[in-house]
Structures are given as structure tokens and as C-alpha cells.
Structure 1
Amino acid sequence: MRVGIIGLGFRLGYLGYVFKAIDESFEIAGYVDPEPAGLPGLIEQGISAGKAYATPQELIANEKMDLLMIGSPNHLHLEHIRIGLEAGLKIFCEKPIVTTIQDSIELARLMAKFGHERLMVGLVLRYSPMYRDLLVAQAEGRLGHVVSIEASEHIEPYHGAFFMRDWRRYQHYSGSFMLEKCCHDLDLYNGVVGARPERVASFGGRKSFIPENDPAREGINDLELFHRKPSGWMGSDKVFDSDGDIIDYQVAIVEYANGVGMNFHTNLNVPDQFRRFAIMGSRGMAEGDFIRGYFNVHEMLTGKKVIEKTYATRTTLSQHYGADEQMAADIISHVKSGQHLPVSTLNALEAGILALSMDEARMKRTVVDLRPTWDEFDEALYSKVA
């Protein structure tokens, strides 16, 4: 299986190793990236990245590929996807798939023109064992009708500091923190609810990574914690005086088209981090935490715990609770034999639009009605191509 890479950053450098471990025939034909942060990791694993090319067009013109993998900065995804689709290639694109509502609508037009099957997206948590078990419990009727959801994604200070130092600190590159980091989670809960979000309110800002909280002001000189995770393109050493415009905490309330309500909370400065959910249904309750590795289901009528499972939070290959290697295996099978995947481009676009709407609500301090956006989106998605 030969692939080309546009954007050989840390993530695709790591995934190159995972894909190679799953399928020995995996081969990187070439890549496009002026600053390939993921290249040293591949070399360390004894994996060739092939030939370096100056442009995506040169890569496509000179190499025969089964799959084009896109890991470029988020704001470049749409153009790189367009180039790949027009060249007739199958594409895997890292999340988030695009960074604005208008780009979401434009990608919907591309889906109408080229179809959905040639574009895959790296929403890796859909492949996690815990989420799959949650969907099984839901399908068995253990939850009944979903009524409300409480969910969160919180990260440790070293990871939050990375976002303050990396190119992702600028919303015009990343889209926003909610989009860049939490689109995984929003996608999961969209899937559980089974309907689109219709109304969103949100509040947040930056209160942790600000100058007055810099430990150096208190004479603390061991600041290795805040530089532990390396940054790539446009990296900076500034943490508490970052010039970025992303938030470091945000809360949001969502109402779905079927009446389900959800609140979601993210924070970038949580020393005992967690990534958990509680899904309340008419017949039961499901609760889990990806980082702490547990999943429980309680029955409403008796209060009994009817499912109790624990999970490895890291595996030999996976940074995402056993999901990375499953995603690699499924993507390879999809490319080779058309195997169905648990997440689609449409899922990715819907999660992205929800994240972007949360940011709109936060910045405008208003409730955002998504129905006009969905009307425009659907008009593009189902448009007829001449």
C-alpha cells in the first residue's frame, strides 16, 4: 500500500509508524512539507518517508499512490482535499477537516460532486473500544431514549502549554481550540444523539495561561513541565505570555433537533485530567472516562450496574486508548476492499460546524440558531452537479 503525505507533522509521522506496524506493505512514496516535524520520528523507527516534493501537484504527478494522507495545518485542508479529489485519489485527512463554516459548505459541494467514499477523516475516537461498547449498549436498549448528556475534555498543563506555543494557538490556522481538540468528542456525542445540533450557547476565555499566573514570577525556575511537549511549525517558547488567541477554558450548552440537551466543558490546565461523559436515558445511564479507563451502565428500574468494564488507556501503538491501531487497520481494509468505516466526512463536517458555532456563540455572547446554517449546508451537500 503506497501513500503520499501532504503535511508530515508529528501526527502523520506517528501514524506512519502505526500503519506500518499494522501492514508491512505500507510504504510512503513521498511527502510535501517544508518543515517535516514528523520525519525524525519515522527515521528513528527505520521507516522511509520517500522523496520530498515542493508541491502537492508534483507529488501526485510523480508517484503512484493508493492513498493520499493530509496532515497539513488545518486551514490548508480544504485546498489539499480539493487537489486530491480532482486527481482521482482516495484521501485520508486528519481532523478537523476544515476550519470555517464557509469551508464546510464548500466541502459539502465537493462531496456532492465527487461522492463521499473517497474521503476519510481521522476522528480516531470513533474507533476506540469504549465508544464501540457504548454504541452496543445503546443498540441493546439499555439507555432507552437519550435525554441529556454531560461531557468534558480536560488536558494537563503540559498539553495546554503546547497549544499556547504551537501554530494551533492562532485561530486563523487551527479554527479554534474547541474545533482542533474537541471535535473528536463532539462527534462522539452527535453520534449517540442521532440528530443535528440546533441551538448553542457558550462562554469561555483565557484565565490560566496569562502573565500573572507565570510561576517564574514567584521565583519558580523549573518550568520543564510547560515545554515537555515539542511544538513544530511556528513554535514558540512563550506560554503565559503567548501571542495566540485561543481560549484555555470553555463551557457550552447544546440543544439538538430531537430535543436532547448537552453541556460540554473543556479546560487546558487540569492537573488530574479526565475525558468523560454521562449519558442519561429514559431506561438507563452510561458513564465513562477515556483517560481513567472505565465504562459503566446502570439500569433505571433497579439502579443496578449492568455493565462494568475497564480499558487500557495506552497500548503499545496507541496514543488514543487503543483507537489508533484500530483506525489504521480499518483504513487499510477500506482502501483495499471497501470495508465500511465508523465515521464519515459528513460526521466530521457536522462536528466541526457544532464546534465553530460554540465559538460564534462565545464571541457574540448570544444563542446561535443553527437551522439556517444547516439549510445552506444541505443545499450544497445535495446540489446537482451539471
Structure 2
Amino acid sequence: MPLGFGIVGAGQRCMYFFGPDIRRNADRAKLVAIAEPDQARLRSALDDLGGDIHAYEDIDGLLEDPLVDAVIIASPDFTHRELLDKVLDAGKHVICEKPMATTPKDARHMTRRARAAPEVVQIGFMLRYAPMFIRLKEIVDSGVIGELVQVGATEVIEYYHGASFFRRWQRFRKHSGGLLVHKACHALDVINWIVGSTPAQVSAIGGTDTFVANPEAATRCRDCDLATTCPAAYRADAYNYTYPTVAERADPDALGNDACAFNADKDIIDNATVMASYENGVRLTFNFVTTGQRHERRFMLVGNRGIVTASQADGTIVVEPVGGETQTAVLPEELRDEHGGGDEFLLQSFLDSVGGGEPPTADVMAGMHSLALALGAEESIDHHGAVVDLGPYLEGLS
């Protein structure tokens, strides 16, 4: 009998990832319900997805549906704590989108709650299920480069994608925690996983240096004289990292999310350099930027007997052990996108866990550690690079 899924939030994660992934695993999973307060968006989602899907205005109605066995929380980040509590109160399994929360208090509560519950709770860190990162962890764990000493990593967000964060709800830290929390949490999580230890201290510097106010630009792209040459200008025919409804697609002029990425109010950074240390002594340097030609994550894993370098966009892994032969692997094109092909594998792992298999690799402690590192970095930036001890973030969660 397929596991019945309900999804909270009819956004891009529901429409372009979880919904289709569930359909591709029809022998094991079925999308039975969606909860979305925006009725026009809800009707559009039902039309686009098709099939017999029950519609609800809120999570309370969805949780009363006897066909719902598991819930995917795909709503804005700051709503996750309340929704997780309700799902576990109802005795349902849950996939909670990343980041699991936007504050340490909420994340600690969610971690304790999930660890005490019999239901499966998985965090939406699909990179842990992407073949490239599974292979990187295998290489490090094999000892071929000796003991891991340090990690250097860079995440580059493609410019138009980067600009999108500065016109949407993520541009306020009260909603997203900041881009190190909302976006870089994927890279930070997979680094934590490869290192195999708990982040202990962090120092970071960063700022908003590109998406700053421009007096020559308008407040909306549709009214701006610079729109034809501006790389951040909203394009109705582009993928805008949102789910446009049927009505919005029919009338591009009705789109309301073409706010100027430069002139919109905001309090998030667009670049950062993060340095961190782990309990096992490994050190991390992580660079984050939002103004690239393409999306890319690059890694250098340094051991005391060699190094590994990897490019997600190029799909390459190069192993250079001291005294050994260099080995190069190239991943197929379909595994080189921003998510590394990990989305469907994440869903399949969740189904395995619900069916009695191993607990999720991307569990609540993974969510907690990634959030602590990201929030600690944001705090350090606020205090001009001061070293932040992450112990208080993780208090009582050993």
C-alpha cells in the first residue's frame, strides 16, 4: 500500500520536486492532499498536478484526512516549528524542508520533540543523498588521503538566482534566518557530514555589496528604464524560483514578485567568508557568493596524506594521495545540477525509513548542526568577525 503524503505549501518545492518525485515512485508513495491558504494558488496546484488530491486551507484539515500517513512541510522557514508540532501531535511521519528553523530556540525544541517521537522525521538535505557527496564521504572515510585536516569550500549562486532572494520573502532574516541559513545550509550540512564531527566555533565576515540601493532604478522591474540591461531584472519567461499560478502564467503583467533586487527593503547579506572548527580538530573555510555566471559548489578536502578536489557543476572528483596515482571521476550530466540528483533519493530514503529501514541520514541533528553553524556565522558577521562558541546553540543536544 503506497504511503499517503500531504504537502503543506503549494510552492516550487511542492510543484517541481516533491509532487513529481512522489508520482515517479507511485508503487510506494501517493500524493493525497495539499494544504495552502492562498485559494488561487491551491486551485492552480490541483489543476497542474491533476489526479485525486484533497485540498485544504490549513494543516489542521490535512491532518484529519485519514489517507495522510506522512506530511511534507514545504512552507516558509519561520513556520516550521509550529507545523512540526502539529504533525507529530497527529502521529504522522514528516519531511521538514530546510532550514528546520530560523532561531536556535525553535531548532532545539524541534530536535528534542523529534528525537522523542516514534515517527520518522527527516530534514530536506538532499545533498546527503546525491551521488557526488556520497562518494566524497566514502573517499574521506576510506583513509586514502589520511586523516582529514581541513576543508575549503565555495558556493556560488548564479546571479539571477541570487537576485531572486532579494525580491522575495527570504530577504528578511526574521523569515529566513539569512542566506547562510536559508541557502548555504545545504553546503554546510554536507560538509558537517563529510567531516563527521560537531561544529564547535565559527567566525565570519560578510555583507551586502552587490544588491544595494540604486537611485537610478525603479522599485519594480516593470517600471525600470534599466531593465533591458540589468542582469537582475525580473523576466516573466524565466524560471523565477517560485510557482506561478495558472492565472499568473496567463497574464505576466499580474505577477507581483518583480520587486527590484537592489531597492527592495532587506537585511540579508549577499556574500560571506566563514571559518569554523570542529570538535575533532578539522578546520573549515567556506566562501559564499550570489553573483556567479552559474551555480557551483567547489571543495578541497585536505588530509595529512593527500587531497581531494571536486566541482559539482563540472561533475568532477579528483583524488591525489601522497605516493599514489591521481584518480579522476566524472559524473553524468544529470547529476551535476544544483541538487546533485539527490531529491528523489531523499524521498526514497524516507520511504525506506518509514518501512522499517535505517533512520534518515538527514535527521534532526543534521538540521540542528547546520543551523547552529549558519546562525553562528550570521551572529559573527553582526559582530565584525567575532569568534562565536556554538556550544550554547547546541546546549543539551549531545
Residues of 1 paired with 2:21 and 2:173: CA distance? Answer: 29
Residues 313 and 338 in structure 2, CA contact (< 8 A), matched pair in contact too? no
| Counterpart mapping for 1:40-59 below 5 A | 40=44, 43-44=47-48, 46-48=49-51, 50-59=53-62
Residue equivalent to 2:91? 88
Kept in 2: contact 1:74–1:97 (CA 8 A): yes
Which position in structure 2 is the counterpart of 1:195? 197
Q: Which of 339, 348, 351 pairs up with 1:329?
A: 348
Which residue number in structure 2 is paired with residue 347 of structure 1?
366
TM-score, structure 1 normalization: 0.88
Q: In the superposition, relative to structure 1, how do residues 122 and 172 fare at CA in structure 2: closer, same or farther (>3 Å)?
A: same
Between Structure 1 and Structure 2, how many residues are aligned?
A: 373
Q: Secondary structure at the match of 1:165?
A: coil
> 1:25 and 1:219 mapped to 2: Cα distance?
50
SS for the counterpart of 1:269 is strand
* Mapped partners of 1:353, 1:90: distance in 2: 24
Partner of 1:242: 264
Give the Cα separation in 1 of the matches to 2:123 and 2:377: 21
Instruction: Call closer, same or farther: CA 1:312–1:287 in 2, change over 3 Å.
Output: same
Rounded Cα–Cα distance in structure 2 between residues aligned with 1:37 and 1:291? 33
Distance of 2:271 and 2:298 partners within structure 1: 16
TM-score by structure 2 length? Answer: 0.86
Q: Which residue of 2 aligns with 1:70?
A: 73
Kindly report which structure 2 residues correspond to 1:165-180, keeping only aligned pairs within 5 A, or say none.
165-180=167-182
Quote how far apart the aligned CAs of 1:311 are: 1.5
Q: Which moved more, 1:257-266 or 1:34-43?
A: 34-43
**Corresponding letter in the other structure for 1:267:** V
Q: CA RMSD in A?
A: 2.6
**Residue in structure 2 matching 1:113, options 102, 116, 120:** 116
Could you tell me which amino acid in structure 2 is paired with residue 354 of structure 1?
L
Q: Could you report, residue by residue, the CA deviation over 1:236-294 in whole angstroms, capped at 9, with x for unpaired residues?
A: 42211121211111111101112211111111111244211101001221111112211
Q: 2:142: which partner in 1?
A: 140
* Aligned counterparts of 2:396 and 2:215: Cα–Cα separation in 1: 42
Deviation, structure 1 residue 160:
0.7
Shift of 1:320: 1.7
The alpha carbon displacement at 1:88 in A equals 0.8
What is the CA–CA distance in structure 2 between the aligned matches of 1:162 and 1:248, rounded to whole Å? 11
- Which stretch of structure 1 is more off in the superposition, 187-196 or 222-231? 222-231
CA contact 1:29–1:63 (8 Å) conserved in 2: no
Correspondences of 1:4-15 after superposition (within 5 Å): 4-14=6-16, 15=18
Paired residues of 2:227 and 2:233 also in contact (CA < 8 A): no
Once the two structures are aligned, what percentage of the paired residues are identical? 28
Corresponding position of 2:291: 269
1:161-216, Cα deviation, whole Å (9 max, x unpaired): 11111111111111110011111111111112221111111111111112349788
1:221 counterpart = 2:221: no
Query: What amino acid is the match of 1:179?
Result: V
* Residue 126 (str. 1) matches residue 125 (str. 2): no
Alignment pair present for 1:314 and 2:317: no
Compared CA separation, residues 174 and 235, structure 1 to 2 (3 A): farther
Deviation at 1:19, TM superposition (A): 1.9
Taking a change above 3 Å as real, the CA distance of residues 147 and 71 of structure 1, as seen in their structure-2 partners, is same
Report the counterpart of residue 298 of structure 1 in structure 2.
320
Residue type matched to 1:320 in 2? H
Shift of 1:39: 6.9
Is residue 2:106 matched to residue 1:100? no
Match of 1:278, SS?
Answer: strand
**Counterpart Cα distance in 2 of 1:104 and 1:50:** 31
Show structure 2 runs of 5+ residues with no match. Answer: 219-223, 244-255
CA distance in 2 between counterparts of 1:263 and 1:214 reads 37
Bigger CA drift: 105-114 or 355-364?
Answer: 105-114
